[in-house]
Amino acid sequence: MRKRRFHILLQFATLLLPFLAASQTVPDSLEGLLQGPMHDTVRLHRYFDLVTANLKPNIAKSLQYADSATLLSQQLKDERLTQLSGYHHGVAYRFAGKYSKAMEHLGAYRAFCEAKKDKAGLANALFQMAFIQDMQGDKEMSLSTYQKALSINRELGNRKAEAEALSSMGEVFQGMNQHEKAAALRLEAVNILEALKDTVALGNAYNNLGNTYRHLKDFDKAELYYQKDYELAKRTGDEFAMGYALHHLGRIFRLKKQYERAEQLLLESLAIRRKLGHKTEIVYSLNGLAQMYNDQKRHREALGLAKEALELCRSENIRSQEVNVLSLLSEANYGLGEYKESMDLYLRRTELRDSLMDVETTNQMAEMDARYQASEKDKALKISELENQGRKLQIAWLVALTIALAALAGVIFFGLKNRMRANHRIAEQQDTLRQQEIRQLEQANQLTALSAMLEGQEQERSRIAADLHDSLGGLLASIKSHFNAAPPPNADNDIFEKTNAMLDGASTEVRRISHNMMPRALSLSGLKGAIEDLAQDLERQGLSCQLELIGLDDLPLEPARSVMVYRIVQELTHNAVKHAQASHLLLQAIRHEGRLTLLVEDDGKGFEVGAARLKKGLGLSSVESRVQFLNGEIEWDSVQGQGTTVSVTMPING
Amino acid sequence: MDQISGFAIFSKLVANFGQLTADFMIKILITDDHQLVIDGIQLILDEADDFQCVGTANSGERALELLATTPADVLLLDINMPGMDGLETCRRVRAAFPSVKILMLSMLREGSLVKLLLNEGASGYLLKNAGKDEVLEAIRKVHRGERALGAEVLDIFLQPESEKKRLMTSPFPSLSRREKQVLQLIVDEKTTQEIADELFISFGTVETHRRNILMKLNARNTAGLVKAAIEYKLLD
């Protein structure tokens, strides 16, 4: 079965499918394979083959086989096979134009493959989903999904699938009228397939590339690739494909106004199609010829062909082509001076087109409705999930713990096993390394953005603090000295004192704000001094604070990192005082073998760490992003009613 | 002759009186990057008759230049200045002009800074919003060779010092609650897995705690941990 048919069908996807049964041959030989006794798994795979084989010729049958496959796989109670049935079901739905159902199945299969790390399966699912996204008009999404499928296939070295993805991306660009991009992608696909010598796929690719160049009005290149397609089809004896190639070549010559050559090619194509008895294709050929004759003002000949085409359309119910045929008939009649007839035909054409569009619109509405229902269901599901989450949290912790232990055991087991098969693993390891590199790069990018943001924030704070402190603080101090040196002559003592007190209050306030923004002590007396000040401040607020700073003299910490460490301590102690309402605090910073370990422990209320993380409250996220900036690790340990212990450990140099 | 010589001595005395009184006055150099602050201090100094402002500087660099040509007894010095800050200026003045007494006059009231500057050789530390009398008294004190701390600065040092207040029962940094729990279970001869199970924390977390305890107690292995725990009564 040539994939070609499918690509041409795309143009009429939803409309044409029901009428295909009559014009295409059903793979009888395959159905015969279902006869007789066989293992269920074998039967299941036969079903899969039948789903695939019937996609284009008889989608109803394909769906039936998909149902059978799903039933059988459920009986077999094999998760992988059930999922695979789901995938086939999804593909069948896709061809039937039932996109929301198709997406459900394919989405499930995708998730399954992701979980099982089945990359080939994942690429297949993505490929199918991208096609649907394209059909649903979400071109950007489709391209990005194709791109994922493409990357996976490249990684797997699956050249043919890579070419298919490239070709399909070309299809999307073509739909967006970006024919240059389409041409580039399709050319890449052709190059791959030429190297693979995959004649079937290569034929499709030539044909697609020809179409793109035709859109670009690069008729010479279009001709070149249609010609290549023709030669390939001829060599493999694929008459169906030959029919298409000749038809396309004929069209190109018509567009080049080389009518003689065009006529010859179109007639040849028609002859082949008549021989094969493919009604839809015969209509295409008749239309192509009629159009050319109209161009040449050979209206009488055009009229004859178009009439034949119209009869075929009616008898075979090929309604989408009927619109074209009526146009051609109208045009021919006009050329012959039969204006009334021409007008009637034109009106009939318009009427038919509108009714077909109605059908299409109705279908689209139904599809949109189905999608809406699905998304509503999704929403409801998510809400109930969220509601459950809270309750499940505790269980989740236990489960997570168990999973973590199991995973650890698994890692140890596999570690031993793998050591014995070291040679076998080199390739895999390289692969993992590459992925790790990618992940690290991504992380590095995120980190760069994060540090830029955090550093910018600190710079800004520093600037504001300096402004406040120097300008406003200095001004207040000098106001006070001026005021004291030359008090207003009539002011009584009370007002004088009060004004002085207010000036002092203002100075203290400016000092406090600027200190919180950026403690000068940090740059002058270092992290140790700044933390000592912080502890002293806490004591002044009535907290008992146990301070243990070890090895912090001459700490070789970059200023930017030093500020971050200070902020972490500031935030954690702030939490202890404000949220936990602690009365005793242990504040520890220990330098040991190139690492700095901070510990802030309070005797406050404590909190639910998991819940707080979800809410991202309590300045947790600001602490965590700073820890990330410092390339460190953080651990929250809180017991309600007992207190909270937070420990952070980081390398001193980056 | 005598008369003449007596007059000469008298006139000499009168002529030198200005110089003499100037010698008894405390010569002050003010350094602050804000002219307004300098003006304010000058106003205060004008009120007293035992002070003489011999110069003002808007930066640490300028203050050092001035000191080379203009002897001063007391340097009033700000900390926060662009370019050479008060800390660096203080160090350099101490090195180049050891007889000059330095009185810090700053907006900053962090204990660590006060300590730092006193360690670097400053004789006193005042907040900028100190009262008139406080400023004058502090200048006189540092000139006499005493230490002068403003009332608010003194306040900082009167705070109970937590590090000193704490009774040192062990020479080690304190263990967190969780670390104590883990240490107790280690002493009870539990394995890492058993500890993890008992405390509902992960295997890795227990290992991290163990590492941290080893570090804090300066021990090399479990035996060392147990020994320290018992010796210093780390567990209740």
Say what the pLDDT of residue A250 is: 92
CB contact under 8 A, B36 and A475: yes
* pLDDT at residue A13 is higher than 60: no
Tokens (6 digits) for A435: 């992925």
Residue of B128, B132, B133, B200 to mutate, interface with A, max A Cβ within 10 Å: B128
Say what the pLDDT of residue A8 is: 41
Q: How confident is the model at residue A578 (pLDDT cuts 50, 70, 90)?
A: confident
Other beta carbons less than 10 A from residue B44's beta carbon? 21
Beta A643-651 vs A633-639: how paired, if at all?
Answer: antiparallel
Return d(Cα A654, Cα A649) in angstroms, integer: 12
Say what the pLDDT of residue B125 is: 95
Residue of A471, A481, A640 to mutate, interface with B, max B Cβ within 10 Å: A481
Which residues of B are less than 8 Å from A512 in CB distance? none
Of B110, B174, B203, the CB nearest to A548: B174
Of B159, B203, B212, the CB nearest to A597: B212
Q: Which residue of A has its CA nearest to B32?
A: A474
pLDDT tens-digit profile of A527-539? 999 999 999 888 8
What CA dihedral angle connects A510, A514, A516 and A518, to 10 degrees? -170
CB contact under 8 A, B203 and A408: yes
Terminal-to-terminal C-alpha distance of chain A: 60
Mean pLDDT of chain A: 82
* pLDDT at residue A15 is higher than 60: no
Which residues of B are less than 8 Å from A500 in CB distance? 131
Higher pLDDT, B141 or B170: B141
* pLDDT at residue A172 is higher than 50: yes
Domains of chain B in start order, with CATH, are 15-162 (3.40.50.2300), 177-231 (1.10.10.10)
Of A470, A511, A601, the CB nearest to B177: A601
Residue of B38, B110, B181 to mutate, interface with A, max A Cβ within 10 Å: B110
* pLDDT at residue A25 is higher than 70: no
Say what the pLDDT of residue A255 is: 87
Query: With an 8 Å Cβ cutoff, is A387 touching chain B?
Result: no
The predicted model scores a pTM of: 0.48
Q: Calculate ∠ Cα A35-A38-A44, nearest 5°.
A: 90
Q: Which residue of A has its CA nearest to B161?
A: A536
Say what the pLDDT of residue A619 is: 59
Q: How confident is the model at residue A30 (pLDDT cuts 50, 70, 90)?
A: low
Query: Which residue from A171, A172, A178, A129 is spatially nearest to A149, judged by alpha carbons?
Result: A129
SS3 content of chain A, % helix, strand, coil (to 5): 80, 5, 15
Which residues of A are less than 8 Å from B116 in CB distance? 524-525, 529
CB contact under 8 A, B203 and A405: yes
3-state secondary structure of B122: coil
Residues 511-570 (A) with a CB less than 8 A from some CB of B: 511, 515, 519-521, 524-525, 528-530, 532-533, 535-536, 539-540, 544-548, 550
Of B111, B128, B162, the CB nearest to A477: B128
Tally the C-alpha atoms within 13 A of residue A264's C-alpha that lie toward its C-beta: 5
Among the ranges given (A12-16, A578-582, A599-603, B225-229), the one the predictor scored with the smallest mean pLDDT: A12-16
Of B36, B111, B160, the CB nearest to A478: B36
Q: Which residue of A has its CA nearest to B87?
A: A524
- ipTM for the whole complex: 0.81
* pLDDT at residue A173 is higher than 70: yes
Q: Calculate ∠ Cα A344-A346-A347, nearest 5°.
A: 65
What CA dihedral angle connects A623, A629, A635 and A641, to 10 degrees? -10
pLDDT tens-digit profile of A203-248? 888 888 898 898 888 888 899 899 988 988 888 888 888 888 999 9
Of A484, A536, A590, the CB nearest to B132: A484
Q: How many residues does chain B have?
A: 236
A278-356 folds as 1.25.40
Q: Are A527 and A555 in contact (CB under 8 A)?
A: yes
Q: How confident is the model at residue A20 (pLDDT cuts 50, 70, 90)?
A: very low
Could you give the residue ranges of the DSSP H alpha helices within B25-85?
35-47, 60-69
pLDDT tens-digit profile of A78-92? 888 888 899 999 999
CB contact under 8 A, B159 and A539: yes
Say what the pLDDT of residue A27 is: 55
Which residues of A are less than 8 Å from B173 in CB distance? 548, 550, 588, 590
Which residues of B are less than 8 Å from A609 in CB distance? none
Q: How confident is the model at residue A17 (pLDDT cuts 50, 70, 90)?
A: very low
Q: Which residue of A has its CA nearest to B38?
A: A478
Q: Which residue of B has its CA nearest to A507?
A: B129
CATH architecture label of A34-157: Alpha Horseshoe (1.25)
Among the ranges given (A305-319, A381-395, B89-103, B220-234), the one the predictor scored with the smallest mean pLDDT: A381-395
Of A519, A528, A635, the CB nearest to B110: A519
The domains spanning A278-356 and A525-651 adopt the same CATH topology: no
Among the ranges given (A126-135, A357-366, B37-46, B120-129), the one the predictor scored with the smallest mean pLDDT: A357-366
CB contact under 8 A, A405 and B47: no
CB contact under 8 A, A525 and B33: no
Q: Which residue of B has its CA nearest to A600?
A: B176
Of A485, A511, A645, the CB nearest to B176: A645
* pLDDT at residue A128 is higher than 50: yes
pLDDT tens-digit profile of B173-202? 889 999 999 999 999 999 999 999 999 888
Say what the pLDDT of residue A11 is: 40
pLDDT tens-digit profile of B121-169? 999 999 888 888 899 999 999 999 999 998 888 877 765 554 444 445 5
In which order are the strands placed within the sheet that holds B26-31? B51-57, B26-31, B74-77, B101-106, B124-127, B148-149
Query: Which residue from A86, A149, A83, A88 is spatially nearest to A119, judged by alpha carbons?
Result: A149
Of A511, A601, A647, the CB nearest to B107: A511
Q: Which residue of B has its CA nearest to A510?
A: B107
Q: Are B127 and B153 in contact (CB under 8 A)?
A: yes
Higher pLDDT, B143 or A28: B143
Of A481, A539, A639, the CB nearest to B162: A539
CB contact under 8 A, B34 and A532: no
CATH homologous superfamily of A525-651 equals Histidine kinase-like ATPase, C-terminal domain (3.30.565.10)
Beta B101-106 vs B124-127: how paired, if at all?
Answer: parallel
* pLDDT at residue B87 is higher than 90: yes
CB contact under 8 A, B107 and A469: yes
Of B162, B176, B215, the CB nearest to A535: B162
Higher pLDDT, B33 or A491: B33
Higher pLDDT, A622 or A380: A622
Could you give the residue ranges of the DSSP H alpha helices within A256-338?
259-276, 279-295, 299-316, 319-335
- Burial of B226: CB neighbours in 10 Å, binned 0-12, 13-18, 19+: middle
Which residues of A are less than 8 Å from B40 in CB distance? 477-482, 485
Say what the pLDDT of residue A1 is: 42
Residues 619-638 (A) with a CB less than 8 A from some CB of B: 635, 637
Q: Calculate ∠ Cα A173-A176-A181, nearest 5°.
A: 35
Beta A544-550 vs A584-592: how paired, if at all?
Answer: parallel
Query: Which residue from A221, A120, A217, A207 is spatially nearest to A171, judged by alpha carbons?
Result: A207
**What's the 3-state SS for A132-157?**
HHHHCCCHHHHHHHHHHHHHHHHHHC
Dump the DSSP string for A259-279: HHHHHHHHHHHHHHHHHHT-H
* Mean pLDDT score, B13-34: 73
Which residues of A are less than 8 Å from B208 in CB distance? 635
Q: How confident is the model at residue A390 (pLDDT cuts 50, 70, 90)?
A: low
CB contact under 8 A, A533 and B112: yes
Continuous segment of H or E residues that includes residue A636: strand A633-639
Among the ranges given (A129-138, A178-187, A360-369), the one the predictor scored with the smallest mean pLDDT: A360-369
> Where do the domains of chain A lie?
34-157, 278-356, 445-518, 525-651
CB contact under 8 A, B116 and A525: yes
CB contact under 8 A, B33 and A470: yes
* pLDDT at residue B64 is higher than 50: yes
A-to-B residue pairs, Cβ atoms closer than 8 angstroms: 153
Tokens (6 digits) for A256: 């080049």
Q: Are A289 and A305 in contact (CB under 8 A)?
A: yes
pLDDT tens-digit profile of A412-454? 777 777 766 776 667 777 777 778 777 777 776 766 777 777 7
Say what the pLDDT of residue A10 is: 39
Name the minimum distance, in Å, from the CA of B33 to any CA of chain A.
9
Return d(Cα B80, Cα B127) in angstroms, integer: 12
Q: Are B202 and A399 in contact (CB under 8 A)?
A: no
